[in-house]
Structure 1
Amino acid sequence: MFDIIHCPLRLKADPTRVVVRPFHIAFTPEGGRVRRIADYVLGLDEKAAGEELELVLRDFDLRHWQTRNVFNARYAQIEAGLGLDGASLPETKKQLIGAFFCHEYSYAAAALMNPSIVPHPDQTGMSHGAVRIIMSLRAVGEGHISSVAFREGILGPGPVFELMSEPPFATAADSAIELDQGAIEIHRHRDSSLSGTVLFPMTEAQRNGLEDLRLVQFDHEDGSKEWLGTYTAYNGTQIQSELLRTSNFRTFTLAPMTGPAARNKGMALFPRKVGGKYMMIGRQDGENVFLISSDRIDDWGEGQLLLTPKYAWEQVQIGNCGSPIEIDEGWILLTHGVGAMRKYSIGAVLLDKDDPSKVLGRTEVPLLSAAHEDREGYVPNVVYTCGAMLHGDHLFIPYGVADSSVAFGFVALDELLAGMK
């Protein structure tokens, strides 16, 4: 077995983390409930409307950032459908109407899991051996809807990890702009920190969730860097692999990927081109690991079979656990394996640096597996990560436990390589 340095920190589901979301009531030709609510507010005199708004603010203003502005923005979204002229309405009534069409959503009430990690774009002020990081998390709330949350922190010096404190308020990235081919652009709220930002489903293909973001810092051939992430969009019946792109974690584009491989989940992008090609690890058949190359970063074919189940702890299925990590000896690819009783484990393989289709080594035993103290939760007997990070002479692995919480561990790189056959 491997000697894992476990961090005492554990992140868990937290129903107190709430954001304001639109509360959708369908418009009908006759107006229906939407019209009735608006007419009720319009029929109030200004004093009564002010008193009703103050009651709402008394309950919710301290729980959210700029609550009145949120209500104003929601009113603006439904104004045309109501046939109203906002210019002639008092601010109090617009805010009260907006409040009736909002609700609180506890985005991580059910589960917090499946993290990935990348270096932060801003490394100013870091001491020698320390790295500022960004971690993505899959947060699950009411209706089992998945969203993407972020946390910032610092690694090192040495095998040490510290998270920055969460801000008191969480805000949803919004201002969605439709682009070509089903893509959208969304923006982090200008006053929100990244650790307080949540990315929610925005398109019909994403309606039931953004699942398992695998972030990677991508080095382009011109020397520029971009932060990319593959994830699964789920609409309740179908899945689709999509790609998140950002250069600053303030503006994000979310776009569907095309090609046969994009019909499944669990795709992980290499952090640079290899041999002039974009490279991806996939799991098109839900059982084995494939290597895919492409001339385009958004279109992926079937690829070639790379790994099949070999050991008992991975006989049911194997898949990747995030993007390959480049070291002098090649590419480290973390894998997940599922064995008897659907028990999950995390292992690793070493791929050739110039030809990743060549497997140079493979761990016979897992780095991590669902242990007795880490088996209970929403989905028992699961350990899973969407991406680790090399830090000095250690590999830092944030990982989900039982689809319920997130734990953290370090493994020495030389020990990992020595444990491969």
Structure 2
Amino acid sequence: MSPIHIRRHELTLLPECMRVIIRPFIPSDTHRVTTIIGRALALTEQEVARELRGVCQEFDDRHFDIASLLQAHYEKVQHHVFTQRTLSHERQLLIGALFSGEYALESAAIFNPSIVPHPDQSGVPDGALRFVMSLRATGEGHISSIEFRAGLIGTDGNITFEPVSRFVTVPEIILNPSYNKKRFITKLREMGFNDADVVIVMAPLGESFTRSDLNKSLNLVLHGSHPVSRDLRRTLECLQWLADSNYELLFPEELAMSERIIFPVSSNETNGIEDARFVRFTEDDGAVMYYATYTAYNGRVILPQLIETEDFLHFRIL
């Protein structure tokens, strides 16, 4: 057997605390929320414009589209706005800013890499390979997320990375995702739920179903059972919890690989997405799929999760 020659490269990936995202920062106390909104409503339009200008000057150079982010955060607290008058776009953005906070994704560490061939090998010389590397980024509060890097292994064995962008963008969360019935039932069995109530809920659903389909089936069972037993309620809550743990993400095509971040979405991941390892599978028909397992952690319990993607743009969390 021919010996394998291994060469260590002088490459070091270092965390960058300036790579940040803007997250909702909404107090749990409703009174505090309405008090903050009240102060924003009391400002004149000139004061609103001045304050918003200051926010944009301070944060705009660290985010692609800060206005869209602030608008999204305003919409999360819009139901607390206690006025009938129409709010200007600027005032909505300022209210959104009051309920926003930056999060430094890599402020604690960046580690645990995995590496796979890039789905796009166009323009790569024969004998070279473009790759995607996933990394576990850990920030404030030890919350972990998944970052990506792209690079090239040259024909001479040298490794180069594409420049790391100073911008990071969270993906769009696809509403009403679809689920694979077989996988869903398998996960329920792993969790110890394999009773008649599960069968009743799952029976009407197709091999692929949406969250809306599941909600209809859950409601039929819930309203058709009188009285609702404690065990039934627990089973239905578990079904909803599992459905919330499965979601889809979509990044814009124009984003560089280093600008994509998978940050915790579901309640099962509030304390982190830990230790994802991506592998590349080629099916018998030649179709390629990338899979990664990771541990979802909410500060109390863990849940094994699976990620699948064909292109590192559209991700399914299972």
TM-score (structure 1 length as normaliser):
0.57
Point out 4+ residue stretches in structure 1 off by more than 4 angstroms. none
Question: Relative contact order (alpha carbons < 8 A, sep ≥ 6): 1 or 2 greater?
Answer: 2
8 A Cα contact 2:173 2:247, kept in partner? no
The answer to whether 1:218 aligns with 2:281 is yes
Shift of 1:191: 4.7
Q: 126, 129, 135: which is aligned to 1:128?
A: 126
Shift of 1:178: 5.0
Unmatched tracts of structure 2, length 5 or more: 180-242
Identify, as 1 or 2, the structure richer in helix: 2
Distance 1:189 1:22 in 2: 21
Secondary structure of the residue aligned to 1:68 is helix
167-176 vs 156-165, which moves further: 167-176
Percentage of pairs with the same residue: 36
Question: Letter of the aligned partner of 2:258 in structure 1?
Answer: S
8 A Cα contact 1:52 1:96, kept in partner? yes
Identify, as 1 or 2, the structure richer in strand: 1
Distance 1:77 1:226 in 2: 35
The answer to whether 1:105 aligns with 2:103 is yes
Shift of 1:249: 1.3
The answer to whether 1:50 aligns with 2:49 is yes
Q: How is 1:54-65 mapped onto 2 (pairs within 5 angstroms)?
A: 54-65=53-64
Partner in structure 2 of residue 23 of structure 1: 25
Q: 8, 11, 34: which is aligned to 2:10?
A: 8
Secondary structure of the residue aligned to 1:7 is coil
Cα separation, partners in 2 of 1:146 and 1:44, compared to 1, 3 Å = same
The superposition leaves residues 220-260 of structure 1 with CA deviations (integer Å, 9 ceiling, x where unpaired) of 233211111111111112212100011121111111xxxxx
* Aligned residue pairs, count: 250
Partner in structure 1 of residue 211 of structure 2: none
Cα separation, partners in 2 of 1:40 and 1:220, compared to 1, 3 Å = same
Shift of 1:192: 2.7
8 A Cα contact 1:233 1:242, kept in partner? yes
Distance 1:167 1:173 in 2: 16
Distance 1:185 1:83 in 2: 34
The answer to whether 1:228 aligns with 2:291 is yes
Shift of 1:189: 4.3
Partner in structure 2 of residue 347 of structure 1: none
Partner in structure 2 of residue 138 of structure 1: 136
Question: Letter of the aligned partner of 2:98 in structure 1?
Answer: F
Question: Letter of the aligned partner of 2:175 in structure 1?
Answer: I
8 A Cα contact 1:228 1:244, kept in partner? yes
Partner in structure 2 of residue 164 of structure 1: 162
Distance 2:71 2:252 in 1: 15
Question: Letter of the aligned partner of 1:22 in structure 2?
Answer: P
Secondary structure of the residue aligned to 2:156 is coil
Shift of 1:176: 4.6
The answer to whether 1:245 aligns with 2:308 is yes
Q: How is 1:10-409 mapped onto 2 (pairs within 5 angstroms)?
A: 10-28=12-30, 32-82=31-81, 88-177=86-175, 179=177, 180=179, 181=243, 182-189=245-252, 191-255=254-318
Cα separation, partners in 2 of 1:234 and 1:226, compared to 1, 3 Å = same
RMSD value, Cα = 1.9
8 A Cα contact 2:60 2:66, kept in partner? yes
8 A Cα contact 1:176 1:202, kept in partner? no
Shift of 1:81: 4.3
Cα separation, partners in 2 of 1:153 and 1:64, compared to 1, 3 Å = same
Partner in structure 2 of residue 348 of structure 1: none
Question: Letter of the aligned partner of 2:103 in structure 1?
Answer: Y
8 A Cα contact 2:21 2:104, kept in partner? yes
The superposition leaves residues 353-374 of structure 1 with CA deviations (integer Å, 9 ceiling, x where unpaired) of xxxxxxxxxxxxxxxxxxxxxx
Question: Letter of the aligned partner of 2:153 in structure 1?
Answer: L
Distance 2:257 2:170 in 1: 10
179-188 vs 7-16, which moves further: 179-188
Secondary structure of the residue aligned to 2:175 is strand
8 A Cα contact 2:174 2:250, kept in partner? yes
Shift of 1:14: 1.8
Question: Letter of the aligned partner of 1:56 in structure 2?
Answer: V
Cα separation, partners in 2 of 1:84 and 1:221, compared to 1, 3 Å = farther
Question: Letter of the aligned partner of 1:21 in structure 2?
Answer: R
The superposition leaves residues 118-140 of structure 1 with CA deviations (integer Å, 9 ceiling, x where unpaired) of 11111111111111111000000
